Every structure is written in structure tokens, then in C-alpha cells.
Amino acid sequence: MKRKYSIIIVPPEHNQAPRQFNFSHKLKRILIFGSVIIVIFLASLFVHNRYQAHYINEYRQKMAYADKLESEIQAKNLEIARLNEKTEEINKQLSAIAALEKKIADILKIKPQNQDSTESEKTNNKE
């Protein structure tokens, strides 16, 4: 059986002898198979790189949204704290008004006219 060879001749550069490469059929198949494997590997790397880039971009968007939500939460917490301070101030003022009302009622020797003020005084005293 006659063996088949593939020959590749590389043209020479200025005044040099041409280069020749001889490949057997088996070596040719191995080189083609290896080339296909390398191309598949490089293609899979490219696909993986695109997937990772998309994932990272999506993750960055989610992180930006989470940061925005955190800043909104901080702003809301500051507003809640400010409103709590204002509520405490109003409660103190209501307690002072109730105390003054009681003093005036004691001086005039009368009972408070509306029950709402006595109920609010009781709730303020409980706190």
C-alpha cells in the first residue's frame, strides 16, 4: 500500500531556498483535529467572555440600584428621626399645656370642661 503525503511549499524570501513540509495522512488528521479543538476552545472562551461581560454589567446595574435604595433608606431614616424629635417636642408642649390648664383650673377652682384634655393628659403621663 502506498503512503500518501501532503506537501506544503513555502515561497522563499529574497534569494533563499524554498521550504518544504511533508505531512503523512495520519499527521494531517491530527493537525486538523487539533486545529478544530483549538478553534472550539477559542470560540467557547469568546462566548464565556461575552456571558461574563453581560453578567458583570447586569450586576453593576443591580448594585447601582441597591446603592440608590440604600441612600433613599438613609434619607427616610433621617426624616423619621426628625419627625420623632418633632413629635417628642409636641408631646412636651402638650404636657406643658395640660399642666397649665390644670393650674388654671385649680386657681379658678373649676373642673376641666372637656374630657379629651384629661384623656390626653393620662396618655401623656403613661409615657
Per-residue pLDDT of the chain (127 residues; tens, 9 = 90+): 456 666 777 777 777 777 777 778 888 889 999 999 999 999 999 999 999 999 999 999 999 999 999 999 999 999 999 999 999 999 999 999 999 998 888 888 887 666 455 555 555 555 5
Single-letter amino acid code for the residue at 15: N
Give pLDDT, residue 127: 52
3-class DSSP state for residue 14? coil
For residue 85, what are the CA distances in angstroms to 18, 63, 90? 92, 33, 9
Give pLDDT, residue 77: 97
Beta bridge partners of 19: 10
- Give the predicted TM-score (pTM) of the model: 0.47
What is the enclosing helix (H) or strand (E) of 21?
A: strand 19-24
For residue 109, what are the CA distances in angstroms to 49, 104, 106, 113, 121? 87, 8, 5, 12, 18
